Chain A
Amino acid sequence: MIVGGQGEASPEHGTPFGQEFIAASDQALINAAKLGERDAFEAIVLRYGPEMLRYAQNMLSDNGAAEEVTQDAFVAAWKGLDTFRGDSSLRTWLFTMVSHKVVDQRRRRSIAPAQDWVFDTAPAPLTDDPETRVNNENFLSELDLALAELPYRQRAAWLLREVDGMTHVEIGRILLITPSAVRGHLVRARATLSERMAAWR
Protein backbone atom coordinates (compact mmCIF):
# COMPACT_ATOMS: atom_id res chain seq x y z
CA MET A 1 0.00 0.00 0.00
CA ILE A 2 1.25 3.46 -0.80
CA VAL A 3 0.06 6.47 1.06
CA GLY A 4 0.83 9.83 -0.39
CA GLY A 5 -0.66 12.83 -2.04
CA GLN A 6 -2.32 15.28 0.24
CA GLY A 7 -1.10 15.78 3.74
CA GLU A 8 -0.85 18.15 6.61
CA ALA A 9 2.09 18.88 8.78
CA SER A 10 2.21 18.80 12.50
CA PRO A 11 2.19 22.27 13.98
CA GLU A 12 5.00 21.03 16.21
CA HIS A 13 8.17 21.89 14.40
CA GLY A 14 11.23 23.88 15.10
CA THR A 15 11.23 26.42 12.29
CA PRO A 16 9.42 29.62 13.23
CA PHE A 17 6.80 30.62 10.70
CA GLY A 18 8.08 32.60 7.80
CA GLN A 19 11.74 31.83 8.20
CA GLU A 20 11.85 29.11 5.58
CA PHE A 21 9.02 30.22 3.33
CA ILE A 22 8.77 33.96 3.46
CA ALA A 23 11.14 34.50 0.54
CA ALA A 24 10.57 31.15 -1.16
CA SER A 25 9.57 30.95 -4.81
CA ASP A 26 5.98 30.14 -5.68
CA GLN A 27 7.12 26.73 -6.91
CA ALA A 28 8.89 25.95 -3.64
CA LEU A 29 5.82 27.06 -1.69
CA ILE A 30 3.46 24.94 -3.74
CA ASN A 31 5.76 21.90 -3.50
CA ALA A 32 6.00 22.23 0.27
CA ALA A 33 2.29 22.94 0.68
CA LYS A 34 1.45 19.87 -1.41
CA LEU A 35 3.53 17.86 1.04
CA GLY A 36 1.40 19.19 3.86
CA GLU A 37 3.41 22.16 5.09
CA ARG A 38 0.79 24.52 6.43
CA ASP A 39 3.40 27.23 6.92
CA ALA A 40 4.09 27.19 3.19
CA PHE A 41 0.39 27.55 2.48
CA GLU A 42 0.15 30.38 4.98
CA ALA A 43 2.93 32.15 3.13
CA ILE A 44 0.83 31.76 -0.03
CA VAL A 45 -2.15 33.28 1.79
CA LEU A 46 -0.10 36.27 2.89
CA ARG A 47 1.46 36.69 -0.56
CA TYR A 48 -1.70 36.59 -2.67
CA GLY A 49 -4.55 37.14 -0.22
CA PRO A 50 -4.70 40.94 -0.35
CA GLU A 51 -5.09 41.13 -4.13
CA MET A 52 -7.58 38.26 -4.15
CA LEU A 53 -9.62 40.08 -1.50
CA ARG A 54 -9.43 43.31 -3.51
CA TYR A 55 -10.65 41.50 -6.62
CA ALA A 56 -13.55 39.96 -4.69
CA GLN A 57 -14.42 43.34 -3.17
CA ASN A 58 -14.44 44.95 -6.60
CA MET A 59 -16.53 42.14 -8.05
CA LEU A 60 -19.11 41.89 -5.26
CA SER A 61 -20.94 44.82 -3.79
CA ASP A 62 -20.40 43.55 -0.31
CA ASN A 63 -17.20 43.49 1.74
CA GLY A 64 -18.51 40.72 3.99
CA ALA A 65 -19.26 38.53 1.00
CA ALA A 66 -15.84 39.33 -0.48
CA GLU A 67 -14.18 38.23 2.75
CA GLU A 68 -16.17 34.99 2.78
CA VAL A 69 -15.37 34.34 -0.88
CA THR A 70 -11.65 34.86 -0.29
CA GLN A 71 -11.68 32.50 2.66
CA ASP A 72 -13.60 29.88 0.69
CA ALA A 73 -11.18 30.22 -2.21
CA PHE A 74 -8.18 29.53 0.02
CA VAL A 75 -9.82 26.58 1.74
CA ALA A 76 -10.68 25.17 -1.70
CA ALA A 77 -7.09 25.76 -2.79
CA TRP A 78 -5.74 23.98 0.30
CA LYS A 79 -8.01 21.00 -0.30
CA GLY A 80 -7.26 20.96 -4.00
CA LEU A 81 -3.49 21.44 -3.98
CA ASP A 82 -3.02 18.14 -5.76
CA THR A 83 -5.03 19.44 -8.70
CA PHE A 84 -2.49 22.22 -9.27
CA ARG A 85 -0.33 20.94 -12.12
CA GLY A 86 1.56 24.10 -12.91
CA ASP A 87 -0.21 24.67 -16.23
CA SER A 88 -0.77 28.22 -15.07
CA SER A 89 1.00 30.30 -12.45
CA LEU A 90 0.08 29.88 -8.81
CA ARG A 91 -1.41 33.39 -8.88
CA THR A 92 -3.62 32.61 -11.88
CA TRP A 93 -4.74 29.35 -10.25
CA LEU A 94 -5.67 31.16 -7.04
CA PHE A 95 -7.53 33.84 -8.96
CA THR A 96 -9.42 31.07 -10.75
CA MET A 97 -10.48 29.78 -7.34
CA VAL A 98 -11.66 33.18 -6.14
CA SER A 99 -13.38 33.85 -9.45
CA HIS A 100 -15.37 30.61 -9.14
CA LYS A 101 -16.32 31.53 -5.59
CA VAL A 102 -17.44 34.98 -6.76
CA VAL A 103 -19.69 33.32 -9.33
CA ASP A 104 -21.08 30.97 -6.67
CA GLN A 105 -21.71 33.92 -4.39
CA ARG A 106 -23.53 35.82 -7.11
CA ARG A 107 -25.68 32.78 -7.81
CA ARG A 108 -26.55 32.35 -4.14
CA ARG A 109 -27.70 35.85 -3.52
CA SER A 110 -28.74 38.87 -5.44
CA ILE A 111 -26.13 41.57 -5.73
CA ALA A 112 -26.62 44.53 -3.42
CA PRO A 113 -27.98 47.66 -5.07
CA ALA A 114 -25.51 50.20 -6.33
CA GLN A 115 -26.03 52.64 -3.46
CA ASP A 116 -24.92 49.99 -0.95
CA TRP A 117 -21.78 49.56 -2.98
CA VAL A 118 -20.87 53.14 -2.22
CA PHE A 119 -21.17 52.61 1.53
CA ASP A 120 -19.09 49.43 1.35
CA THR A 121 -16.29 51.09 -0.50
CA ALA A 122 -12.89 51.32 1.18
CA PRO A 123 -11.58 54.84 1.78
CA ALA A 124 -9.61 56.54 -0.93
CA PRO A 125 -5.83 56.59 -0.64
CA LEU A 126 -4.77 59.00 2.08
CA THR A 127 -3.62 62.44 1.14
CA ASP A 128 -2.88 65.55 3.19
CA ASP A 129 -4.97 67.77 0.98
CA PRO A 130 -8.68 67.63 1.99
CA GLU A 131 -9.82 68.84 -1.39
CA THR A 132 -7.80 66.19 -3.18
CA ARG A 133 -9.08 63.58 -0.80
CA VAL A 134 -12.72 64.50 -1.34
CA ASN A 135 -12.06 64.56 -5.06
CA ASN A 136 -10.49 61.09 -4.92
CA GLU A 137 -13.34 59.72 -2.84
CA ASN A 138 -15.89 61.11 -5.26
CA PHE A 139 -13.95 59.68 -8.19
CA LEU A 140 -13.80 56.24 -6.57
CA SER A 141 -17.49 56.33 -5.71
CA GLU A 142 -18.33 57.20 -9.28
CA LEU A 143 -15.99 54.48 -10.54
CA ASP A 144 -17.58 51.93 -8.21
CA LEU A 145 -21.00 52.80 -9.58
CA ALA A 146 -19.75 52.58 -13.14
CA LEU A 147 -18.12 49.21 -12.51
CA ALA A 148 -21.26 47.92 -10.82
CA GLU A 149 -23.20 48.68 -13.98
CA LEU A 150 -20.90 46.58 -16.15
CA PRO A 151 -21.91 43.02 -17.02
CA TYR A 152 -20.02 40.45 -14.92
CA ARG A 153 -17.45 39.34 -17.51
CA GLN A 154 -16.68 42.88 -18.65
CA ARG A 155 -16.17 43.97 -15.09
CA ALA A 156 -14.01 40.93 -14.27
CA ALA A 157 -11.94 41.25 -17.43
CA TRP A 158 -11.31 44.98 -16.89
CA LEU A 159 -10.33 44.51 -13.23
CA LEU A 160 -8.04 41.55 -13.95
CA ARG A 161 -6.39 43.37 -16.84
CA GLU A 162 -6.10 46.92 -15.58
CA VAL A 163 -5.87 46.46 -11.83
CA ASP A 164 -4.21 43.05 -11.50
CA GLY A 165 -2.14 43.30 -14.67
CA MET A 166 -3.03 39.90 -16.09
CA THR A 167 -2.62 38.86 -19.71
CA HIS A 168 -5.54 37.98 -21.97
CA VAL A 169 -4.55 34.31 -21.73
CA GLU A 170 -4.50 34.39 -17.93
CA ILE A 171 -7.85 36.18 -17.79
CA GLY A 172 -9.26 33.61 -20.20
CA ARG A 173 -8.14 30.79 -17.89
CA ILE A 174 -9.70 32.49 -14.89
CA LEU A 175 -13.02 33.32 -16.55
CA LEU A 176 -13.11 30.14 -18.64
CA ILE A 177 -13.33 32.03 -21.92
CA THR A 178 -10.98 32.39 -24.89
CA PRO A 179 -8.42 35.19 -25.09
CA SER A 180 -10.37 36.61 -28.05
CA ALA A 181 -13.49 36.77 -25.93
CA VAL A 182 -11.45 38.50 -23.22
CA ARG A 183 -10.42 41.14 -25.77
CA GLY A 184 -14.05 41.68 -26.73
CA HIS A 185 -15.16 42.10 -23.13
CA LEU A 186 -12.29 44.51 -22.48
CA VAL A 187 -13.15 46.68 -25.47
CA ARG A 188 -16.77 46.92 -24.37
CA ALA A 189 -15.84 47.53 -20.74
CA ARG A 190 -13.44 50.34 -21.66
CA ALA A 191 -15.98 51.98 -23.94
CA THR A 192 -18.70 51.86 -21.27
CA LEU A 193 -16.42 53.05 -18.47
CA SER A 194 -14.99 55.81 -20.61
CA GLU A 195 -18.45 57.08 -21.42
CA ARG A 196 -19.69 56.66 -17.86
CA MET A 197 -16.70 58.53 -16.41
CA ALA A 198 -16.65 61.24 -19.08
CA ALA A 199 -17.49 63.96 -16.54
CA TRP A 200 -14.05 63.44 -14.97
CA ARG A 201 -12.23 64.11 -18.21
Chain B
Amino acid sequence: MAMTPSHSDPVLARAARSLKDKPVDARWIDISDSIISRVRTTTRRTWPVSAEFPGTTEQSERTADTLRISDHVVRSAVRRALAGVHGAEPTAIDLYLDEHTCTGAYVDIVGVYGDDLQAVGDELAGIVLATLSDLLGPVRELTRADIDVHVHDINDAETR
Protein backbone atom coordinates (compact mmCIF):
# COMPACT_ATOMS: atom_id res chain seq x y z
CA MET B 1 0.00 0.00 0.00
CA ALA B 2 1.31 3.44 -0.84
CA MET B 3 2.42 5.74 1.88
CA THR B 4 -0.28 8.11 2.98
CA PRO B 5 -0.38 11.09 5.30
CA SER B 6 -1.65 8.78 8.07
CA HIS B 7 1.63 6.94 7.93
CA SER B 8 3.53 10.16 8.43
CA ASP B 9 1.61 10.78 11.64
CA PRO B 10 2.78 8.15 14.14
CA VAL B 11 -0.44 8.28 16.14
CA LEU B 12 -2.63 7.76 13.08
CA ALA B 13 -0.27 5.06 11.87
CA ARG B 14 -0.64 3.35 15.25
CA ALA B 15 -4.41 3.79 15.05
CA ALA B 16 -4.61 2.10 11.66
CA ARG B 17 -2.25 -0.65 12.75
CA SER B 18 -4.21 -1.27 15.96
CA LEU B 19 -7.44 -1.79 14.06
CA LYS B 20 -5.76 -3.91 11.38
CA ASP B 21 -4.04 -6.10 13.96
CA LYS B 22 -7.15 -6.73 16.03
CA PRO B 23 -7.71 -10.46 16.21
CA VAL B 24 -10.64 -11.82 14.20
CA ASP B 25 -13.79 -11.50 16.26
CA ALA B 26 -14.05 -14.56 18.50
CA ARG B 27 -17.66 -14.95 17.42
CA TRP B 28 -16.72 -15.19 13.75
CA ILE B 29 -17.12 -18.98 13.66
CA ASP B 30 -20.70 -18.67 14.89
CA ILE B 31 -21.37 -15.70 12.66
CA SER B 32 -20.06 -17.46 9.56
CA ASP B 33 -22.18 -20.51 10.42
CA SER B 34 -25.22 -18.23 10.59
CA ILE B 35 -24.36 -16.63 7.26
CA ILE B 36 -23.91 -19.99 5.58
CA SER B 37 -27.16 -21.28 7.09
CA ARG B 38 -29.01 -18.25 5.80
CA VAL B 39 -27.50 -18.65 2.34
CA ARG B 40 -28.49 -22.32 2.28
CA THR B 41 -32.08 -21.46 3.09
CA THR B 42 -32.25 -18.55 0.68
CA THR B 43 -34.32 -19.80 -2.21
CA ARG B 44 -33.46 -18.96 -5.75
CA ARG B 45 -35.37 -19.45 -8.96
CA THR B 46 -35.44 -23.03 -10.13
CA TRP B 47 -37.08 -25.09 -12.87
CA PRO B 48 -37.87 -28.83 -12.78
CA VAL B 49 -36.32 -30.91 -15.56
CA SER B 50 -37.82 -34.26 -16.51
CA ALA B 51 -35.73 -37.35 -15.83
CA GLU B 52 -36.10 -41.12 -15.97
CA PHE B 53 -35.98 -43.21 -12.81
CA PRO B 54 -32.64 -45.01 -12.80
CA GLY B 55 -32.84 -48.69 -13.70
CA THR B 56 -36.30 -48.65 -15.24
CA THR B 57 -36.60 -50.63 -18.41
CA GLU B 58 -40.30 -51.22 -18.75
CA GLN B 59 -42.35 -48.53 -20.47
CA SER B 60 -45.08 -48.98 -17.84
CA GLU B 61 -42.58 -48.27 -15.07
CA ARG B 62 -41.31 -45.19 -16.87
CA THR B 63 -44.73 -43.66 -17.24
CA ALA B 64 -46.13 -44.69 -13.86
CA ASP B 65 -44.48 -41.86 -12.01
CA THR B 66 -42.65 -38.63 -12.71
CA LEU B 67 -39.12 -37.74 -11.74
CA ARG B 68 -37.99 -34.17 -12.04
CA ILE B 69 -34.63 -32.71 -11.12
CA SER B 70 -33.94 -29.06 -10.42
CA ASP B 71 -32.13 -27.32 -13.26
CA HIS B 72 -29.69 -26.07 -10.64
CA VAL B 73 -28.68 -29.61 -9.83
CA VAL B 74 -28.25 -30.40 -13.52
CA ARG B 75 -26.16 -27.32 -14.21
CA SER B 76 -24.06 -27.89 -11.12
CA ALA B 77 -23.37 -31.49 -12.19
CA VAL B 78 -22.34 -30.28 -15.64
CA ARG B 79 -20.04 -27.64 -14.11
CA ARG B 80 -18.33 -30.19 -11.93
CA ALA B 81 -17.90 -32.56 -14.84
CA LEU B 82 -16.32 -29.84 -16.97
CA ALA B 83 -14.19 -28.08 -14.36
CA GLY B 84 -10.53 -28.42 -15.07
CA VAL B 85 -10.88 -30.45 -18.28
CA HIS B 86 -8.16 -28.99 -20.52
CA GLY B 87 -7.93 -26.16 -17.99
CA ALA B 88 -11.32 -24.90 -19.13
CA GLU B 89 -13.45 -23.02 -16.63
CA PRO B 90 -17.22 -22.88 -17.20
CA THR B 91 -18.61 -19.39 -16.62
CA ALA B 92 -22.20 -20.01 -17.74
CA ILE B 93 -24.29 -23.10 -18.31
CA ASP B 94 -27.81 -22.82 -19.68
CA LEU B 95 -30.20 -25.65 -20.43
CA TYR B 96 -32.37 -25.62 -23.54
CA LEU B 97 -35.80 -26.78 -22.44
CA ASP B 98 -39.05 -27.70 -24.12
CA GLU B 99 -41.31 -27.26 -21.12
CA HIS B 100 -39.63 -29.68 -18.72
CA THR B 101 -37.68 -31.69 -21.28
CA CYS B 102 -34.02 -30.89 -21.73
CA THR B 103 -33.31 -30.49 -25.44
CA GLY B 104 -29.70 -29.37 -25.17
CA ALA B 105 -27.29 -27.12 -23.38
CA TYR B 106 -25.21 -24.00 -23.86
CA VAL B 107 -21.84 -23.85 -22.15
CA ASP B 108 -19.70 -20.76 -21.91
CA ILE B 109 -16.07 -21.34 -20.98
CA VAL B 110 -12.75 -19.65 -20.54
CA GLY B 111 -10.30 -21.67 -22.62
CA VAL B 112 -6.56 -22.01 -22.45
CA TYR B 113 -4.26 -20.25 -24.91
CA GLY B 114 -2.67 -22.65 -27.38
CA ASP B 115 -5.33 -25.35 -27.16
CA ASP B 116 -7.16 -26.62 -30.24
CA LEU B 117 -10.42 -25.00 -29.28
CA GLN B 118 -12.46 -26.99 -31.78
CA ALA B 119 -11.20 -30.26 -30.32
CA VAL B 120 -11.64 -29.00 -26.76
CA GLY B 121 -15.18 -27.87 -27.59
CA ASP B 122 -16.02 -31.31 -28.96
CA GLU B 123 -14.58 -33.04 -25.92
CA LEU B 124 -16.44 -30.75 -23.53
CA ALA B 125 -19.65 -31.26 -25.48
CA GLY B 126 -19.15 -35.01 -25.12
CA ILE B 127 -18.79 -34.61 -21.37
CA VAL B 128 -21.95 -32.52 -21.22
CA LEU B 129 -23.84 -35.16 -23.19
CA ALA B 130 -22.61 -37.93 -20.91
CA THR B 131 -23.48 -35.95 -17.78
CA LEU B 132 -26.97 -35.15 -18.99
CA SER B 133 -27.50 -38.76 -19.98
CA ASP B 134 -26.30 -40.02 -16.59
CA LEU B 135 -28.42 -37.57 -14.69
CA LEU B 136 -31.62 -37.40 -16.72
CA GLY B 137 -31.67 -40.77 -18.43
CA PRO B 138 -33.09 -41.35 -21.90
CA VAL B 139 -35.91 -38.82 -21.68
CA ARG B 140 -34.71 -37.50 -24.98
CA GLU B 141 -31.69 -38.63 -26.93
CA LEU B 142 -29.29 -35.75 -27.32
CA THR B 143 -26.51 -35.41 -29.89
CA ARG B 144 -23.43 -33.22 -30.30
CA ALA B 145 -25.54 -30.81 -32.32
CA ASP B 146 -27.67 -30.11 -29.24
CA ILE B 147 -24.72 -28.84 -27.22
CA ASP B 148 -23.31 -25.38 -27.86
CA VAL B 149 -19.87 -24.66 -26.44
CA HIS B 150 -18.80 -21.04 -26.57
CA VAL B 151 -15.27 -19.97 -25.69
CA HIS B 152 -15.65 -16.38 -24.56
CA ASP B 153 -12.15 -15.79 -23.28
CA ILE B 154 -8.68 -17.31 -23.34
CA ASN B 155 -6.37 -17.60 -20.36
CA ASP B 156 -2.66 -18.14 -20.51
CA ALA B 157 -2.01 -21.68 -19.26
CA GLU B 158 0.78 -20.31 -17.04
CA THR B 159 -1.71 -18.26 -15.06
CA ARG B 160 -4.03 -21.16 -14.27
Contacts and interface: CB of A to CB of B under 8 A. Distances in A.
Interface of A: 1-11, 13, 15, 20, 28, 31-32, 34-38, 41-42, 45-46, 49-50, 53-54, 57-58, 63, 67, 70-71, 74-75, 78-79, 122, 124-126, 136, 139-140, 143, 158-159, 161-163, 165, 186-187, 190, 193-194, 197-198, 200-201
B10 interface: yes
A71 B32 CA distance: 8
Given A9-B72, A31-B89, A162-B16, A75 B9 contact: no
Contact of B72 (A8, A28, A79, A159): A8
Contacts of A58: 19
Contact of A1 (B32, B92, B98, B106): B98
Nearest to A4: B94
A165 B3 CA distance: 11
Contacts of A140: 18-19
Contacts of A159: 19
B21 interface: yes
Interface of B: 1, 4-6, 9-12, 14-16, 18-25, 27-28, 31-32, 34-36, 38-40, 42, 44-47, 49, 70-73, 75-76, 79-80, 83, 89-99, 106
Contacts of B97: 1-3
